[in-house]
A and B are shown apart, each in its own frame.
Chain A
Amino acid sequence: MDIIKTDNLTKKFNDLTAVDNISFSVKKGEIFGFLGPNGAGKTTTIKMLTTLLHPTNGSAKISDFNIVKDRDKVRKNIGVVFQEPALDTELTGGENLDYHARMYGIGRNKRKTRIEDVLHLVDLEDKRDVFVKNYSGGMKRRLEIARGLMHYPNVLFLDEPTLGLDAQTRRAIWEYIKKMNKEEGTTIFLTTHYMDEADYLCDRVGIIDHGKILVIDSIENLKNSVGNDVITLSCSDLDGLIKRLEKEDWIENIERHESLLTLGVEKGDEKIPVIIEISQSQNIQIKSISVRKPTLDDVFLHFTGRTIRNQETADIKIPPRFRSRMG
């Protein structure tokens, strides 16, 4: 059963189309992820689905309630953890949860036990009476996740749940997300630009860029779509080699990426000698060659033509003294 269903959902800000005619659905009980770089339109999509922004065009339903016409019913059914923190830092963790529960009409006794439960889930029991301004970044994030769960939502939206957290805290948060998906049966819609996060958590992933969904599938299928194995190589004449390799029908896809060439193939280790042979016959010198299992990075590169990592580091200037070492 589809718990989220969008139909040509579109949002324009003046002449910028932030979300461009997207249609997709999320099944009950799954962890679904939107993977995309900065500015792709992830947050804008979440804001429309959570009734904070009006779509310019198209529509969406959550638990069969229309996000424009049945706003209140949609709101009852969802929990949201925003990209930016949305806690009242002048209140304690417990107060934040209590006020939340009241606004969702949860009775006094239920409130009490539920606060214990969700705090237990994210290991914050001993911080209940501490002011949120004295929490660490990771603790705030965990509290927000706990708050999102207070009212037993059918769907929990998590906008970049681990942005800016250290590796250990990220791991912990991933475990909480898995746990609540399993124990409470909460459907989860999350956005991220971390490959490993999508890889670890999501059952299905949609790759979004410039407001458009490029592909939606299970992680498994996405990885298979770039080939069983990925061969990466560099050589003296990239263009020449590409021309020659395009004739080989056992290569599922060829992609050029600056000075590197990636090939999607079956049984990669057996193909390495074949490729070396071919290039020698063309008088092209192979400088390096390796084979590995495809990652989401390869998938992302395949569908968008660039890597997320590349894009993020592109404008970080490398000081001269490090350049030689890195080159």
Chain B
Amino acid sequence: MKAAEFQAIYVMWLRQMKRFIRSKSRLVSTIVQPLFFLLILGSGFRVATFEGVNDYLSFLAPGIVTMAILFSSMFTGISVLWDKQFGFLQEVLVAPISRFSIIIGRTLGGATVALIQGVIILLIALGLGVEISGVFGLLLTLVFMILIAFTAVGFGLVIASKMEDFQGFQLIMSLLIMPLLFLSSAFFPVTANPTMKTIAIFNPLFYMVDGLRGSLVVNVATVNHPLLDLLVVVVMCIIMMGAGSYLFSKSEV
């Protein structure tokens, strides 16, 4: 690969980072929103007893981390629409660099931002007394976080290349992502209800939440072994990234 391609990846990455750091509102909202979830749901359901859950906050924390990474990364993918609308995409597309580098740079940028947010929430959860498993568990958690970020960026790219405006994005968020999130065991276990358990098998987000939970925390039972979840998430990640970059490379301006 030529030096200019690495520069292009770096530029795309750097741009995402600068925009993230400079956008105070995004910085605040992406951290405050999950924090509210953690605190409000955490204290609200603390007294409720779920089967196999000894400590509700430990149960909830992985769900919130997944949610934060998902939203942030999807936003990165979708923001291609912004660049299209504000014309900047043309500037990138006439440069003598491959579209592959553009995608890689953007995805790495989005994933880095999402990871920073995920880690911050993780630290907050630790501060609130969530007990985590050992070093290996933490490493596996990190792998899950990266995979979730990439998958969601890919999904965002798919939406961005199929949608003309942001209304479509709103629709997908409220009609698809939110229900999937509620049925993913992020906020409450799905094992008690057989219908929910069946639905979960077909819910991509379920494997992300279950896997992250299994690798991160102790005191909480999971449905699958984390490594089984990992396998599913890897496959989804490859499919989504593939579809996202294919559609992006086909798009004309």
Interface residues of A, Cβ cutoff 8 Å to B: 47, 50-54, 72-73, 75-76, 78, 80, 82, 84-91, 95, 99-100, 102-105, 147
B90 touches A103 (CB 8 A): no
Task: Pick the interface stretch among B18-26, B151-159, B181-189.
Answer: B18-26
Bound-complex Cα distance A86 to B93 (A): 11
A53 touches B252 (CB 8 A): yes
CB closest chain-A residue, reference B23: A90
Once A100-B91, A103-B7 are accepted as A-B contacts, the answer to whether A54 and B2 lie under 8 Å apart by CB is: no
B94 touches A88 (CB 8 A): no
Once A86-B88, A89-B86 are accepted as A-B contacts, the answer to whether A102 and B15 lie under 8 Å apart by CB is: no
Among the listed B2, B19, B23, which residue makes an inter-chain contact with A105, where contact means beta carbons less than 8 Å apart? B2
A86 touches B91 (CB 8 A): yes
Bound-complex Cα distance A73 to B22 (A): 35
A104 touches B4 (CB 8 A): yes
Once A78-B94, A103-B8 are accepted as A-B contacts, the answer to whether A90 and B87 lie under 8 Å apart by CB is: no
CB closest chain-B residue, reference A92: B18
A105 touches B252 (CB 8 A): no
Whether B143 is near chain A, meaning CB under 8 Å from some CB there, is no
CB interface residues, B 77-111, toward A, < 8 Å = 86-97
* Nearest 8 A/B pairs, CB to CB: A105-B4, A86-B87, A75-B96, A103-B95, A102-B7, A86-B91, A84-B87, A76-B96
B253 touches A52 (CB 8 A): yes
A75-B94, A104-B95 known; 10 other A-B pairs, CB under 8 Å?
Answer: A52-B90, A52-B252, A75-B95, A84-B87, A87-B88, A88-B86, A103-B8, A105-B3, A105-B7, A147-B91
Whether B10 is near chain A, meaning CB under 8 Å from some CB there, is yes
Once A50-B94, A103-B11 are accepted as A-B contacts, the answer to whether A91 and B2 lie under 8 Å apart by CB is: no
Chain B 118-136 interface 0/1 with A at a Cβ cutoff of 8 Å (1 = within): 0000000000000000000
A90 touches B7 (CB 8 A): no
A54 CB contacts on chain B under 8 angstroms:
252
Bound-complex Cα distance A144 to B89 (A): 14
- Closest CB in chain B relative to A7 CB, distance in Å: 22
B94 touches A52 (CB 8 A): yes
B11 CB contacts on chain A under 8 angstroms:
99, 102-103
CB closest chain-B residue, reference A74: B96
A91 CB contacts on chain B under 8 angstroms:
15, 18-19
B15 touches A104 (CB 8 A): no
B87 touches A103 (CB 8 A): no
B10 CB contacts on chain A under 8 angstroms:
102
A86 CB contacts on chain B under 8 angstroms:
86-91
CB closest chain-B residue, reference A87: B88
User: Can you name 24 A-B residue pairings with CB atoms under 8 Å?
Assistant: A52-B90, A52-B94, A53-B252, A76-B96, A80-B90, A80-B94, A82-B87, A82-B91, A86-B91, A87-B88, A90-B23, A91-B15, A91-B18, A99-B15, A100-B91, A102-B7, A102-B11, A103-B11, A103-B92, A103-B95, A104-B96, A105-B2, A105-B4, A105-B7
